Structure 1
Amino acid sequence: MPKQGGGTHVEVCPPWCTTDHTSDTSNPTFLEDVWHQSDVTRTEIELTNDADAPVPWTVLDACLSVIPHSADPASRVPHVAVQFVEEVWTNPLDVNELGQLIDTVAAQLDNLRALQRKLAAARAEWSTAAKGVVA
């Protein structure tokens, strides 16, 4: 690939890289701008700010990534960065940090499941109480 400032550089993609490097190979590139990424895992949830109708937001985007010439040492080795909601990312996570994040999110999912059970009970109670209301 042509380097910004002249010369060329040979960059070898890791086996998991699915990045299209066409622009890197056709235009002069700063080496620190070369990223290798796997396919992104993503899901969408409809969210609202109460003023607008719900719209789909991408949440918990994640991919395996490495920026081999980055100034940030954590980015120069394979890592995962998770985008919680659009434009809100974690720092690059190593294996243990990703495990801690997964445990934290899993614990919150357990809390949401417990809240779901409470909601089901509250709805059942509400429905029963509403049947006894005389208008």
Structure 2
Amino acid sequence: MTSLAQATDTASRNGRLSACPDGVPFCTGDPETHADPREHIHRGPERSLNRADGTPVLTYQVEQWDDDAPEVTIGDADKPGLDSAAVTALADEMIRFAAGLRADAQLVADLSAARDAGDEAVPYILTPGAVAVLAEPEPRSFTINVQERDGGGIHTERCPRWCTSDHQADRDSEHGTFLCDIWHQADEVGLPMRISEGLDTHEDQVLVARLGAIPYTSNPKALVPHVNVELVAGTDMWVDEMGPQAFAAFIDSLAGHVERLRGVHAQLVQACAEWEAER
């Protein structure tokens, strides 16, 4: 652990000697917060997240009351401060928040462009980089021979904008295609992971999510756009047909599980340290 003297010495060597009369390295030395001889409040420079016009949206600063532990205050200085662990957790959450904000910014741009062009509102998908994009700039269509037992004839199907399937199997079927077998799908999104099965270890994808719709099925959940999640690619183990609300709940449950995994990681770190100490 770094002592106050070490921190002050480091600040001095880096050309950042504190203006604080008590030598607190981050303190700006504001006379107003040092006027009371019984209690000095040490505050660092206020840092802020600003709009393009410079208007602050969120501010924070490092703060320490006398010899108490330093904390970070977010926004209102009268609210309780955050310790190091809480600040780290908040920073991780802000990374997730920023990715979502960028995605929604792109979504607004896409929808605004479509509105200005007089087009109908269009669905969007998120790339692994959390950027909202249209899967296809223009809708596609394809023609199939309908299976005789399904009425026969020719059918032209228009793909949703997000569909990336080439529908090759539907178009090339020798005996025709059942309409209920037409399946619109977007590109799948999975998490790369090393998987072990017995003595075999290989690279694979887990939690593989794919947007899809089966427009002529009798299953009402699959009839409309939905997301399926395959737990491990190729294992045929699925979380099936989630609409927007169900998929949002699924994502929230994963986020909660990540926090539980962080707790297991902390246990692992402690267990390893104790194991080495006893050897």
Q: TM-score range by the shorter chain?
A: 0.7 to 0.9
Q: How has the CA–CA distance of structure 1 residues 26 and 55 changed in structure 2, closer, same or farther, with 3 Å as cutoff?
A: closer
Structure 1 residue 73, shift from structure 2 partner: 0.8
Which structure 2 residue ranges, 5 or more long, are not aligned? Answer: 1-143
- Provide the C-alpha distance between the structure 2 equivalents of 1:120 and 1:89, rounded to a whole number of angstroms: 33
> Residue 67 of structure 1 aligns with which residue?
214
> Residue 45 of structure 1 aligns with which residue?
193
Matched, 1:17 2:163: yes
Structure 1 residue 7, shift from structure 2 partner: 0.1
- Provide the C-alpha distance between the structure 2 equivalents of 1:36 and 1:115, rounded to a whole number of angstroms: 40
> Residue 183 of structure 2 aligns with which residue?
35
Equivalent residue in structure 2 for 1:97, among 246, 267, 270: 246
Structure 1 runs of 4+ aligned residues shifted over 2 Å read 43-49, 53-58
- Provide the C-alpha distance between the structure 1 equivalents of 2:155 and 2:225, rounded to a whole number of angstroms: 20
Query: TM-score normalised to the size of structure 1?
Result: 0.88
Larger C-alpha radius of gyration, 1 or 2? 2
Specify which structure has the bigger relative contact order, considering alpha-carbon pairs within 8 angstroms and separated by 6 or more residues. 1
Aligned pair count reads 129
- Provide the C-alpha distance between the structure 1 equivalents of 2:275 and 2:244, rounded to a whole number of angstroms: 46
> Residue 146 of structure 2 aligns with which residue?
3
Cα offsets for 1:22-49 (capped at 9, x unmatched): 2212321100101000010012322335
> Residue 79 of structure 1 aligns with which residue?
226
Percent sequence identity over aligned pairs: 35
- Provide the C-alpha distance between the structure 2 equivalents of 1:84 and 1:128, rounded to a whole number of angstroms: 39
Structure 1 residue 105, shift from structure 2 partner: 1.4
- Provide the C-alpha distance between the structure 2 equivalents of 1:62 and 1:53, rounded to a whole number of angstroms: 25
- Provide the C-alpha distance between the structure 1 equivalents of 2:230 and 2:268, rounded to a whole number of angstroms: 29
| DSSP 3-state at the match of 1:92 | strand
Structure 1 residue 71, shift from structure 2 partner: 1.4
Letter in 1 for 2:264: L
| DSSP 3-state at the match of 2:242 | coil
Structure 1 residue 56, shift from structure 2 partner: 3.2
Which structure 1 residue ranges, 5 or more long, are not aligned? Answer: 131-135
- Provide the C-alpha distance between the structure 2 equivalents of 1:54 and 1:120, rounded to a whole number of angstroms: 25
Letter in 1 for 2:145: P
- Provide the C-alpha distance between the structure 2 equivalents of 1:33 and 1:92, rounded to a whole number of angstroms: 16
- Provide the C-alpha distance between the structure 2 equivalents of 1:53 and 1:77, rounded to a whole number of angstroms: 39
Query: TM-score normalised to the size of structure 2?
Result: 0.44
| DSSP 3-state at the match of 1:20 | coil
| DSSP 3-state at the match of 1:18 | coil
